[in-house]
Amino acid sequence: MKLKYAIIGTGALGGFYGGKLAKAGHSVEFLLNSDYEYVKEKGLRIDSVLGDFHLPDISAFRQTEEMSLADVVFVCLKTTQNHLLKKLLPPILHENTLIILLQNGLGVEADVAKEFPNQMVAGGVAFICSQKVGAGHITHLDLGKIIMGMHQGDRGSVLKQICENFISSGIDAEMTADLDLIRWRKLVWNIPFNGTTVVMNTTTNSLILDEATRPLIYSLMNEVVCAANACGVALNEEFARKMIDMTEAMMPYEPSMKIDFDLRREMEIFYIYTRPIELAAAAGYDMIRVRMLEQELRFMQKNLSNDKG
Amino acid sequence: MKLKYAIIGTGALGGFYGGKLAKAGHSVEFLLNSDYEYVKEKGLRIDSVLGDFHLPDISAFRQTEEMSLADVVFVCLKTTQNHLLKKLLPPILHENTLIILLQNGLGVEADVAKEFPNQMVAGGVAFICSQKVGAGHITHLDLGKIIMGMHQGDRGSVLKQICENFISSGIDAEMTADLDLIRWRKLVWNIPFNGTTVVMNTTTNSLILDEATRPLIYSLMNEVVCAANACGVALNEEFARKMIDMTEAMMPYEPSMKIDFDLRREMEIFYIYTRPIELAAAAGYDMIRVRMLEQELRFMQKNLSNDKG
């Protein structure tokens, strides 16, 4: 049986992964918002290190009410939009639809699972450098692997099929039995770099090369490692060191939160910072520096919002 | 015996306190740098909540070599200039000259005492809102008390006379036997607000009123209290709470470090942050948040310097 895919949020992630599936011939419907008119007329363009391509005629929609029922729904919105899911998702869900949250942070699956208690819910973590650079135009700069794991319901067989679909579409994909581990691993990078590039108004590279912020980044990473451990997730300092080395080898990079802030969009503070801090605290570990970073970010977010309005 | 005063650095502090002494008829010589020509011609103007005044003809100098030997030398430079003292001070010192460091932070007296091992050295802490607003032009907005204590040598009797001179000149002045306590008390305010107003690009008031940064400020204050305790200085949480209340009652205020940063001058990171962090660490206490703030400030300072050229 061929799976019918729905992509909720056709940005850097949704546009890329959905585009790759569509290009390989899979049935994919895309939900768009501001880019709808443009994409409906001109299609989706993806400039990728794996090869550029153009999808002139994708199944683009402005409302989920107009979309088909889907077997697999990839939620690729920013987590700051998750309050919309309650209205967005029901029109495309059938009994066995699997909702996969391809989002940042920790705890998104738990919240969506609570909202949709009878639905299968999975999480996906994308290790990719991609950006939406214009309407219907995505650039894929580096990496691309996606790791998925179940959170609610036992539909591992569907997840396996999705993995196979990705792999045959040219995407490195993998299943995990330990989604928490994958999410915490990504936080080891996301927590220090997203916030600190915003607060210091700089790139990953400058932070890593500076003699004051390099140890700060390392301390923040270690707090994430300790928090993961407190939550029963096995990570170690060695992994933090690897993340430092990996970042040093990367091109100067602006994490998604930095891009959001510069574009005056709401930052994903809650799921990237607040939730991990709360979960660690409940497990007895105080993320002192990460909390300080979160407080700085909240101040900046609020003052940005004030400026706006 | 009347004391001969020298003011090294005629800015917001030196100009005000020296000006008050000179106005009351004391012998005061002023060292100036960029404002020398202007002040030589036009004198020193002080707009003070205690009453405005103008000193048309002060003893202004550009080099200490041209100045008289002084009984009391008030060092009112930014601590970032303290490397100059080795050259600046000797021409005006006699055997019994008392050097008083009217500066921010912790450990300035120890460093200057090491540089001048045979000289009396004291420290002074000014509780004042004053600013240099133009050449030879100082505004005094609020407060004004000065507290002084000996660090090296026993010249308490001279300190007493200085206090009397201040008081008869209209300045609230006091001696302390515990200079460390006074310096740590001031750090309880200076450490959170100086750095955080720079990193968040804001005023004391906005930080105090924000629900994210108010607890952050309080946490930073408590780290200073704990660090003081570790160093054998008696302070408690109640004092931190008082500082919060006091700041809330103040007008929105930009601390000296914020002004320095905005004017692209070097910030006093070393004596306000690094020294207290080091002293606390040596006493077994890790100022985690304060160190993070210091690291952020060092990054900002360095990038400011890089921008400069």
Residues B33 and B158 in one domain: yes
Closest A-chain CA to B292: A216
A-side interface with B, Cβ within 8 Å?
Answer: 199-200, 202, 206-207, 210-213, 215-216, 219, 288-289, 292-296, 298-300, 302-303
Domain end, chosen from A146, A177, A208, is at A177
Q: Do B295 and A200 touch (CB under 8 A)?
A: no
Q: What is the DSSP string of A117-164?
A: TTSEEEEEEEEEEEEEEETTEEEEEEEEEEEEEEEES--HHHHHHHHH
Q: Do A212 and B302 touch (CB under 8 A)?
A: yes
Point out the residue among B212, B288, B299 whose CB comes nearest to the CB of A295.
B212
Q: Do B303 and A199 touch (CB under 8 A)?
A: no
What pLDDT sits at residue B309? Answer: 45
Residues of B in contact with A294 (CB under 8 A): 212
Q: Do A289 and B294 touch (CB under 8 A)?
A: no
Residues A142 and A231 in one domain: no
Residues A66 and A119 in one domain: yes
User: To the nearest 5 percent, what fractions of chain B are helix, strand and coil?
Assistant: 50, 25, 25
Residues B173 and B185 in one domain: no
Q: Which two tokens stand for residue A280?
A: 């660690």
Residues of chain B with pLDDT under 70: 155, 307-309
Domain end, chosen from B134, B156, B177, is at B177
Per-residue pLDDT tens digits of chain A, which is 309 residues long? 799 999 999 999 999 999 999 999 999 999 999 999 999 999 999 999 999 999 999 999 999 999 999 999 999 999 999 999 999 999 999 999 999 999 999 999 999 999 999 999 999 999 888 889 999 999 998 889 999 999 999 867 899 999 999 999 999 999 999 999 999 999 999 999 999 999 999 999 999 999 999 999 999 999 999 999 999 999 999 999 999 998 888 777 789 999 999 999 999 999 999 999 999 999 999 999 999 999 999 999 999 877 654
What pLDDT sits at residue A309? Answer: 44
DSSP β-bridge partners for residue B54: B45
Residues of A in contact with B199 (CB under 8 A): 199, 296
Domain end, chosen from A122, A153, A177, is at A177
**Which CATH number does the domain housing residue B277 bear?**
1.10.1040.10
Closest A-chain CA to B291: A216
Residues of B in contact with A299 (CB under 8 A): 200, 202, 206-207, 210, 212-213
Residue ranges making up the domain that contains A95: 4-177
On whether the CB atoms of residues B7 and B29 are closer than 8 A, the answer is yes
B-side interface with A, Cβ within 8 Å?
Answer: 199-200, 202, 206-207, 210-213, 215-216, 219, 288-289, 292-296, 298-300, 302-303
How high is the ipTM of this complex? 0.90
Location of structure tokens 């606390």: B280
B296 to chain A, closest Cα gap in Å: 7
Residues B51 and B105 in one domain: yes
Residues of A in contact with B210 (CB under 8 A): 298-299, 302
Residues B16 and B142 in one domain: yes
Point out the residue among B202, B216, B292 whose CB comes nearest to the CB of A216.
B292
Residues A210 and A91 in one domain: no
Residues A244 and A215 in one domain: yes
Residues A220 and A164 in one domain: no
CA angle B172, B173, B176 (to 5 degrees): 145
Catalytic option among B4, B23, B186, B258: B186
Residues of A in contact with B299 (CB under 8 A): 200, 202, 207, 210, 212-213
Closest CA to A302 of B130, B40, B87, B216: B216
Q: Do A295 and B200 touch (CB under 8 A)?
A: no
**Which CATH number does the domain housing residue A54 bear?**
3.40.50.720
pLDDT in tens, B152-166: 998 678 999 999 999
Helices (H) and strands (E) in chain B, counts: 13, 10
Residues B27 and B141 in one domain: yes
Q: Are strands B120-134 and B137-152 parallel, antiparallel or unpaired?
A: antiparallel
Quick count: other Cβ atoms within 10 Å of Cβ A226? Answer: 16
Whether A42 is catalytic is no
Residues B112 and B208 in one domain: no
Residues A192 and A96 in one domain: no
Q: How many domains does chain B have?
A: 2
Q: Which two tokens stand for residue A135?
A: 């309407």
What are the distances in angstroms from CA B283 to CA A4, B224, B230? Answer: 64, 13, 6
Q: Do B296 and A206 touch (CB under 8 A)?
A: no
Secondary structure of A76-95 in HEC code, one letter for each residue:
CCCHHHHHHHHHHCHHHEEE
Residue A98: exposed, middle, or buried by beta-carbon count in 10 A (0-12, 13-18, 19+)?
buried
Catalytic option among A186, A258, A302, A308: A186
